[in-house]
Structure 1
Amino acid sequence: MIALIDCNNFYCSCERVFNPGLLGRALIVLSNNDGCAISRSEEAKELGIQMAQPAFMIDELIKKEEVNVFSSNYTLYDDMSRRVMQVIKELVPRAEVYSVDEIFADLSGMKYKDLEELGSEIKDMVGRCTGIPVTVGIAPTKTLAKMANRYAKKNRPGEGVFSADTKELVEMLLSATKIGDVWGIGKQFEALLSGKGFVTALDLVNRAPEEWIRKEMSVVGQRLFHELKGINCIPWEETTKVRKNICTSRSFGKLITRKNEVAQSIAKFTSSCGEKLRKEKTCARRVHVFLQTNPHRPQDPQYFQSITLELEMATNLTTLLLKHAMKALDMIFREGYNYQKAGVMMLDLIPQKEVQLGLFETLTYEKDQKLMEKVDELNKVFGKDVVRFGVQDYGQNWKLKQGNLSGAYTTRLHQVIKAS
């Protein structure tokens, strides 16, 4: 049996942990630059606020209903996610983090445990240790566990747990799930299956020929079909996959035209990429830089350009990455445009241990490596970018718009909430 533990309205729940006065009140969290609603409390959903709805379209509703609005605070959310996942990992034999707010747990080694009680224990423990409410769905496969979790949210909000541990309960779960709500079935497959008369997941399991599924939906659909029948087909990924590319890009808080401000943003993004590379112990062989105007402003002249530069040697040192990123910017920047977005990508990543140094690079490389190790250590202790390169500057114009940002309550000592 497999459990899927999903944090309820995760970003909103994180904000409520440190501000209990928000409990029972409408709350939304906005995306980068305070653009769209990406997390909504149940009270906000009842007001009709939709996922990804632009904030400017609901401005009057926000004021009328006194909806609490927060800018996205990913530092806080990432740390709270880590805490939630750690609590769960201590309660189950094996677990796989699926996303920032979801984790699969393998319960096959807990045969003598009442699974619904176990689900309640997990829910209660996460709540006590982190303050984050979660829902637990338990079923024979990952796909069915996803469906069980959704069923628990919709039909058992009080208990927050549903275990489809018998054939009868699995059939009931399948019959209660519309074909478009099955994990892995997108709009295209939904249209195909609905057109053939498949209304629920149970219809698909009972009536669809496997040969037809493979022909129309490929091997991915066949795997989904087996999962719905209780046959495990999705493998466990206990180790994090090594990324092949890393990207850091942002839309600017304001339109900018000056090259030095664009350079500040490129330097910041390059430094962020370098930090990620060192954390994952990988190195990049190529650096890609892009720059663009706002395509939704037809009154402005439009420009989009990018360039990829080969590195003489694969590296994760910000000193070397900045050199090439700044060179790339010199090659693509043009005066006279209102720039809205820029980004940096690290391409063709390889493990750090596979990098071969040249005869003349050894001494300077070791020196720069020690420098970056110290910079990373200091920033980890005193805060992000406290120690940075001069070209990064402060860049108030290109920074994200975060008008309602909450504190870094779990990662900054001076922002820890004090009891009085």
Structure 2
Amino acid sequence: MLTHERTFALIDCNSFYASCERVFRPDLARTPIVVLSNNDGCVIARSYDAKPFVKMGAPYYQIKDDLRRAGVVAFSSNYALYGDISERVMTIIESMVPALEVYSIDEAFADLTGVPGDLNQFGRDIRARLFKCTGIPVGVGIAQTKTLAKLANHTAKRLSHITGGVVDLSDPFKRDWTLRNTDVGEVWGVGKRMRAHLEGMGIKTAMDLARADPWTLRKNFSVVIEKTARELAGTACLELEDITPPKQEICCSRMFGARVTDIEPIKEAVATYTQRAAEKLRAQNSLCKKIRVSIRTGMFNPEEVKYANAALVELPYPTNDVRLMTKAATEAVNRLFRPGFKYSKAEVLLMDLRQPGEFTDDLFAHSQPSDAGKVMQVLDEINGRWGRGTLRSASVPSAPEWAMRRDLMSSSYTTRLDQLWTVKAT
């Protein structure tokens, strides 16, 4: 039987970063895992069995001895590995559903309208295929709206010992039970402040929000909360985004692996971040007219002198040429740098982004030469085939001393030939 009623599914990877690390370390299948932020700073991901031992955001230097005693294994963030596995997961899901919206690196909405048969079983088929092909466990939530699908997914994970990782709220009885037993703060889009306001109105559960008057919510809060309430009541207000809109700003920012006191390493870092931001810019076929460059010292050590500054650079014409952008960004560092400080971070923010043809300059304004676009196309093709950084600006070093610290990083099993997974015979 075909399902003609509008139906969505949310497929969300379980503890994604930690799960990626486990894929190539079967010896850690029953070992708690945490993944750390840049420079091995704080815990940003935990496997389910690590949650009793560590809080999200805990500074690693404060808890590393406790983790070791508890048998918890820590990893530095391996973004290349996570990004590649995410792409594989999304490709498999896309091959199984009529339409897909990739919502983040570890979750996606699918349109299941018209999918024949038992949708609960279909959700289990998705889980089984993803685990077989990628090793990544997922939860699947199915419902008539995206907000309900998100809630179904949350319930599938929260009660995984009962649900098996799949919950279908198409059944009104299951939907109402879930709404009654879900705190309003767990609803997609309801933050801490909004939760406090809603509870002040007597709205404490998802069911209370679903039954609230939408127009009152819109008047007191916003159209977003109104749509959330309508979606919880079963009225679809949010559609799948077939095409992700281009970003209006692109940022690349990193903490240095160690404090920097000279200007040249800072220029290298800014050049490196500009190259990465320019790659993202060209990937969405945009041009940039302004760049904001900022540098700062550490802000939390009371014994260090504080300094932070930023400069806005106006480019001569809208461009995606990394050579022009790097020259402008590194020259800005000359205006920002002050000797005598220990710098900890630099940031490059691309602003005033438009698609080609959207800029309305005067008739005599300069525009990007066609040759520059061809050069950038060749640059991206080479780096796409042989790996990021194969061809780069001369001001971008291959192994800088200021690079962020990742002492606990696993191998790039799927993105580097020299780090392919090997299996030893016993």
Q: Corresponding residue for 1:193?
A: 198
- The aligned amino acid for 2:344 is Q
What pairs up with 1:81-230 in 2 under 5 angstroms? Answer: 81-110=86-115, 112-157=116-161, 159-206=164-211, 208-230=212-234
Q: Corresponding residue for 2:23?
A: 17
Question: 1:379 aligned to 2:383?
Answer: yes
Could you give the per-residue CA deviations for residues 176-216 of structure 1, whole angstroms, max 9, x where no partner exists? 1111111111111211222333332123334x333432222
CA shift, 1:334, in A, is 1.3
CA shift, 1:133, in A, is 0.5
Could you give the per-residue CA deviations for residues 78-132 of structure 1, whole angstroms, max 9, x where no partner exists? 111111111111111111111111111111122x321101111111111111111
Range 133-142 or range 56-65, more displaced: 56-65
CA shift, 1:252, in A, is 0.7
Note if contact 1:256-1:397 (Cα within 8 Å) is conserved in structure 2: no
- TM-score, normalization by structure 2: 0.92
- Name the CA distance, whole Å, in 1 between partners of 2:143 and 2:317: 49
- The aligned amino acid for 1:29 is V
Q: CA RMSD in A?
A: 2.1
- The aligned amino acid for 2:342 is N
- Name the CA distance, whole Å, in 2 between partners of 1:295 and 1:371: 40
Note if contact 1:313-1:357 (Cα within 8 Å) is conserved in structure 2: no
Question: 1:37 aligned to 2:43?
Answer: yes
- TM-score, normalization by structure 1: 0.94
- Name the CA distance, whole Å, in 2 between partners of 1:189 and 1:123: 33
Note if contact 2:147-2:232 (Cα within 8 Å) is conserved in structure 1: yes
Give me the identity figure in percent. 39
Range 195-204 or range 1-10, more displaced: 195-204
Q: Corresponding residue for 1:74?
A: 79
Question: 1:286 aligned to 2:324?
Answer: no
Task: Work out which of the residue numbers 3, 8, 22 in structure 1 matches 2:9.
Answer: 3
Could you give the per-residue CA deviations for residues 271-329 of structure 1, whole angstroms, max 9, x where no partner exists? 11122222222110111111111111232222111111111111111111111112211
Unaligned runs of 5+ in 2: 1-6
Could you give the per-residue CA deviations for residues 207-245 of structure 1, whole angstroms, max 9, x where no partner exists? x33343222222221111101100001122110111111
Using a 3 Å threshold, how does the CA distance of structure 1 residues 113 and 361 change in structure 2: closer, same or farther?
Answer: same
Task: Work out which of the residue numbers 274, 277, 301 in structure 1 matches 2:278.
Answer: 274
Could you give the per-residue CA deviations for residues 144-197 of structure 1, whole angstroms, max 9, x where no partner exists? 111111111111346111111111111011011111111111111211222333
Could you give the per-residue CA deviations for residues 367-419 of structure 1, whole angstroms, max 9, x where no partner exists? 44443333333333333223322222246332111011111111112222234
Q: Corresponding residue for 1:408?
A: 412
Task: Work out which of the residue numbers 35, 52, 56 in structure 2 matches 1:51.
Answer: 56
SS, match of residue 392 in structure 1: coil
SS, match of residue 92 in structure 1: coil
Unaligned runs of 5+ in 1: none
Using a 3 Å threshold, how does the CA distance of structure 1 residues 358 and 412 change in structure 2: closer, same or farther?
Answer: farther
